Amino acid sequence: GFDPPHQSDTRTIYIANRFPQHGHYVPQKFADNRIISSKYTVWNFVPKNLFEQFRRVANFYFLIIFLVQLMIDTPTSPITSGLPLFFVITVTAIKQGYEDWLRHKADNEVNGAPVYVVRSGGLVKTRSKNIRVGDIVRVAKDETFPVDLVLLSSDRIDGSCHVTTASLDGETNLKTHVAVPETAVLQSVANLDKLVAVIECQQPEADLYRFVGRITVSQQTEEIVRPLGPESLLLRGARLKNTKEIFGVAVYTGMETKMALNYKSKSQKRSAVEKSMNSFLIIYLIILLFEAILSTILKYAWQAEEKWDEPWYNEKTEHERNSSKILRFISDFLAFLVLYNFIIPISLYVTVEMQKFLGSFFIGWDLDLYHEETNQRAQVNTSDLNEELGQVEYVFTDKTGTLTENEMQFRECSINGIKYQEVNGKLTPEGFTEDSPDGNRHSLMKEEELFLKAVCLCHTVQINADQTDGADGPWHANGIASPLEYYASSPDEKALVEAASRVGVVFTGTSGDSMEVKSLGKSERYKLLHVLEFDPNRRRMSVIVESPSGEKLLFTKGAESSILPRSKSGEIDKTRIHVDEFALKGLRTLCVAYRRFTPEEYQEIGKRLHEARTALQQREERLADVFNFIERDLELLGATGVEDKLQEKVQETIEALRLAGIKVWVLTGDKHETAVSVSLSCGHFHRTMNILELVQHKSDSTCAEQLRQLAKRIKEDHVIQHGLVVDGTSLSLALREHEKLFMEVCKNCSAVLCCRMAPLQKAKVVRLLKTSPEKPITLAIGDGANDVSMIQEAHVGIGIMGKEGRQAVRNSDYAIARFKFLSKLLFVHGHLYYIRIATLVQYFFYKNVCFITPQFLYQFFCLFSQQTLYDSVYLTLYNICFTSLPVLIYSLFEQHVHPHVLQSKPVLYRDISKNAHLGFKPFLYWTILGFFHAFVFFYGSYLLMGEDTSLLGNGQMFGNWTFGTLVFTVMVITVTMKMALETHFWTWINHFVTWGSIVFYFIFSLFYGGIIWPFLHTQDMYFVFVQLLSSGSAWFAIILIVVACLFLDVVKKVLYRHLQPTSTEKAQLTEAGSGINCLDSMCCFSDGETACTSVRRMLERLMGRCSPTRVNR
């Protein structure tokens, strides 16, 4: 996040903006409540966008060339480079403007949401963006808080309210917040309007769980000061639950809210392909400068001879004779630069932009990425990163809601050493079948009932307030219960209480200090005496209750490691075995125990508890001692197993990612045991893995020592795979001093799990890997606002459209509905996009080398007089019209391997990892190929035509334009055919543009040269083309040269395929063998039929059946 500039360390807020009347009070300036995620405004769009575009090497270079053409007398007109440049800049600007407009739209939706504010004695409806610091805001049930509020009052007398922060930190449980007693009584607008109070608090900071402040309430003559902590702060983005309405005062607004401070600022993400492209451009710039300097030097070397310096047919003017040598040299150099400048392909950028923009629609259209239950399809927010999906090396995933459904379900339990499962709303012991003689038991046994009562009493579950208002609560006249709606701070507790109520022991709510339980229809009241709260060190919680018969009972539940050692009776060994079995199935386990107190014991406990709770010094330690004293000599009742349901196909997806050579890290806010058990059940950790732990370190030295030991262990037994578990505190220690060592350990582990992570810690881990020496490509995937900073930090951020709000989706690059869609997104879309764009980029450089090298060679035959070989219309249209469409269509539709094969063989993903297709070798191959073809064009034409110029039947002569046109014609045909050779997947569109481009070139040339156009001041090309084509030998030359160029290429392809096939090529062969129809996957329909059937039949008639050889060519 960013730190807003502030003058002082605290801010003073006058509630309802009642500033003191006396003295010179200068109000502090606060930000308004607008959230801004967009990059441009209407005013700065043009300058900012132009600045960003001219930061690209090619655009800036073309601008310079354009200016040079305007300033000096150059061989080609300024339009040749001005027009393409203008076209490129406009198209890109429109695309980026449109994407930003979508962001504006999303922002306006948030900023314009209606809210109610207390102003001048009444409720006023206004927009979210108009809330000011100090306003009193009313929020109703199930609404999200529009700003960070300090709670003043709620509809409850004690001023408490329940909040879920799912969209902030991913926790779906309910949190209780309370108001200070002085304001809690002000429950109406009229009363609040009379409130005179001042809040002093710290300036905004990103930590979600910290808030320090105090409120001073003026009543009659005295001023009452109360402390404010995180329990009275309601965060923007959280949701009000189980409470009719609350009033709160706005303390942090807009971009200063904790939610906004946890966002990283959006930096422009750039893909690896774009970086390779820039380095290739620089190489080509060097080639260009070399050619220009060489030509200039050769020109002067040539002109040193008298007869060439000033031949009789081209005498110099006075002005030319007297101009300075240096100026002439510079202007010659610039002229050559302009002549050769097309070796840098300007239209490359615009083709890439269009390819990315149009290509991104395929992701949204893909039916395999569509989720029917929620009616959500994949969504693309940034189309600049499509090909990065094919380069991922690390996946960082959130756990709750991303790998799991975030829904707890009761699965089985162990009572008194017997395992039970829930079958049709009955608890049935294992091995029991419905029809066994004992199967129709309706009553519960004593132990079972006691166990279920323990589950129903030992918890912090609340009941939805709307349901308990009736006279006899949720029971209708006929005695049938309407299902109660429970709210809990932990989803596990909720699942257990719900399960108990289905089986027959129903918790019907608390009133005052008693808890009500209905066991098999008869109601019982337990008086709640004490609650011993859960804490992470004890890892258990307890309640002490008085039963209807007057007995004092303690019920405890917690992790088995904290309950079993304290139990003295009950089926301890059997239960331990059962707990291990549950954990192996990936269930979250809890043990339940109880203890009866004699009256004397209870008095002693009450006294000790009271002393500890009111102690001023060392309160925590004293309480811990008393809790330990109370929770001992327990009688074990049993254990429960609750499942956080995994999303479907998570295991297969993680396995596929691993096969593809991608390392998966799970980063979660969950506690250690839960995280490990889910990791095991989703296949992230294997049973055979050696799991190393780096947890609960408080000091730097112990952490470093542990790291060294882990590194040593990994070196010693490098045969087996290792998994690493780290928690948040140890992680921050490890990152502070021992980054290198930590990275060393992580890289040698095949799976890493980080638990108890704060949102910004997740981003730190991603940045750590992203900036490590290998610079791997990272992908982060998550569903809550706690994942936003990680999603923005990674190269590719993916949001899951889950239950936790839309924060993650809004800030991601891609959004999908389920984790399992990740494999199709990477292995199919990512793979194809990468192949397409890699070929696109290199082909562009190749066709421009083919284009300009003959121009360079031609200078040797025209005394370096900067005479151009091609007409300037051809120069302008070569990249825009004649050769642009085939490669664009290729880069949209190419599927070198069938999508089903790509998805079923994740190993193929390794073939393209580490930017393999855009490395130096393939680049060198394409460049050399370009030079080779250019030499063949030029010297082939020269050998066949150059010496004997009388090639026409009537003895007419050839001119230089005819020669240039011949070279150009051969070039257009060869370059287009080369693209056709690269294409594996033919659709009718490919056929149309490939052959259409060649036909268009011929028709255009006939029209351009066959008519005298009034608006052209010179027409060198008049009738040239028609004449050329009327010569038989010209046709012979064209066919011969094209075949000569492509023949070697075909031979090379065939040999390589047979002698050294890559795994991708092998996959193409198997696919051809399995006879997948080569037109099936033309459209993104899962069945492959539907929309294309008619087109396909027609095409098959045209092409014959597609034989395997043809698919595979």
Tens of pLDDT, residue by residue over 824-859, are 999 999 999 999 999 999 999 999 999 999 999 999
In this predicted structure, the answer to whether residue 290 has a pLDDT above a threshold of 90 is: yes
Averaged pLDDT, 924-949 = 88
Mean pLDDT in residue range 130-155: 93
Q: What confidence tier does 910 reach under pLDDT thresholds 50, 70, 90?
A: very high
pTM: 0.77
- Residue 440: predicted pLDDT: 46
| Nearest to 525, CA basis, from 507, 541, 542 | 507
Beta strands in 165-257 (DSSP E): 174-178, 197-202, 213-219, 222-228, 233-234, 239-241, 245-252
What residue type is 1083 in one-letter code? C
Range scoring the smallest mean pLDDT among 91-95, 290-294, 549-553, 1002-1006: 91-95
3-state secondary structure of 511: strand
Torsion sign over Cα 1031, 1032, 1037, 1038: positive
- Residue 807 pLDDT class (50, 70, 90 cuts): confident
DSSP strand E in 533-678: where?
A: 540-546, 552-558, 567-569, 588-597, 634-646, 663-667
Q: What percent of the chain has pLDDT over 90?
A: 39
pLDDT in tens, 1036-1060: 889 999 999 999 999 999 999 888 8
Is the pLDDT at 468 greater than 90, yes or no? no
Residue 980, pLDDT score: 95
Average pLDDT over residues 230-252: 91
pLDDT of 1112 strictly over 50: no
Inter-helix orientation angle 884-893/347-365, to 10°: 30
User: Average of pLDDT values for 758-782?
Assistant: 90
pLDDT tens-digit profile of 775-799? Answer: 999 999 998 777 888 998 999 999 9
Q: Which of 384, 398, 670, 727 is catalytic?
A: 398
Whether the per-residue pLDDT at 48 is higher than 80: the answer is: yes
Torsion, Cα of 323, 329, 331, 335 (10° steps): 140
Q: Give the per-residue pLDDT at 79.
A: 81
At residue 553 the predicted structure's pLDDT band, cuts being 50, 70 and 90, is: very high
Please tell me the predicted confidence (pLDDT) of residue 467: 53
Output the pLDDT for position 1102.
46
The confidence score (pLDDT) of residue 344 equals 84
Q: How distant, in Å, are the alpha carbons of 370, 643, 817, 818 from that of 373?
A: 9, 22, 10, 11
pLDDT band at 473 (very low <50, low <70, confident <90, very high): very low
pLDDT of residue 1066: 87
Among 126-130, 437-441, 632-636, 708-712, the minimum mean pLDDT is found in 437-441
Average pLDDT over residues 142-169: 87
**What is residue 485's predicted lDDT score, i.e. its pLDDT?**
81
Give pLDDT, residue 170.
64
Three-class DSSP category at 593: strand
* CA 146 vs CA 114, 237, 516, 757: distances in Å: 9, 7, 37, 26
What is the reported pLDDT for 297? 94
Q: Whose CA is closest to 288, among 329, 344, 348, 328?
A: 344
Query: Average pLDDT of 897-906?
Result: 94
Backbone angles phi, psi at 524, to 5 degrees: -130, 145
Give pLDDT, residue 465.
Answer: 59
- Mean residue pLDDT across the chain: 84
Q: How far apart are CA 531 and CA 649, in angstroms?
A: 41
pLDDT of 1099: 47
Interval 675-698: pLDDT, tens: 887 888 888 998 788 889 998 788
% of the chain beyond a pLDDT of 70: 90
Cα–Cα distances (Å) from 1090 to 302, 320, 359, in that order, read 68, 72, 21
What is the C-alpha to C-alpha distance for residues 430 and 413, in angstroms, rounded to an integer?
10
Q: Rounded to an integer, what distance in angstroms lies between the CA atom of residue 184 and that of residue 161?
A: 11
Query: Which pLDDT belongs to residue 80?
Result: 78
pLDDT score of 800: 92
**Torsion sign (Cα): 426, 427, 433, 437:** negative
pLDDT attached to residue 354: 87
pLDDT in tens, 296-355: 999 998 888 777 777 777 777 777 777 788 888 898 999 999 889 888 887 887 788 889
Rounded average pLDDT over 579-608: 87
Nearest of 305, 295, 287 to residue 332 by alpha carbon: 295
What is the identity of the amino acid at 938?
Answer: F
Q: 435: which DSSP letter?
A: T
| pLDDT, mean of residues 402-414 | 86
Q: Is the pLDDT of residue 92 over 90?
A: no
3-7, 131-135, 375-379, range with the lowest pLDDT: 3-7
> With 90 as the cut, is the pLDDT of residue 147 above it?
yes
Cα(625)–Cα(104) distance, integer angstroms: 56
- Do residues 831 and 825 touch, judged by C-beta distance below 8 A? no
- pLDDT above 50 (res 1082): no
Residue pair 563/595 in contact by the 8 Å Cβ criterion: no
Q: Where would I find the beta strands (DSSP E) of 416-574?
A: 418-423, 426-429, 462-463, 486-487, 505-511, 514-519, 522-532, 540-546, 552-558, 567-569
Q: Where is mean pLDDT largest: 191-200, 761-770, 868-877, 931-940? A: 931-940
Pairing relationship of beta strands 114-119 and 486-487 according to DSSP bridges: unpaired
Is residue 939 over pLDDT 50?
A: yes
Mean pLDDT of all residues in 641-655:
90
Least-confidence region, from 244-258, 727-741, 829-843: 727-741
**Cα–Cα dist 765/558, whole Å:** 31
Confidence check: pLDDT of 751 > 70:
yes
Q: Is residue 554 pLDDT above 90, yes or no?
A: yes
Of the ranges 450-454, 466-470, 569-573, 781-785, which one carries the lowest mean pLDDT score?
466-470
**Per-residue pLDDT tens digits for 863-874:** 888 889 998 889
Q: What is the mean pLDDT of residues 1004-1009?
A: 90
Q: What is the mean pLDDT of residues 428-435?
A: 71
Mean pLDDT along residues 85-108: 87
- Confirm whether 633 is a catalytic residue: no
* pLDDT exceeds 60 at position 953: no
Count CB-CB contacts under 10 A for residue 105: 10
Residues in the chain: 1113
pLDDT of res. 257: 92
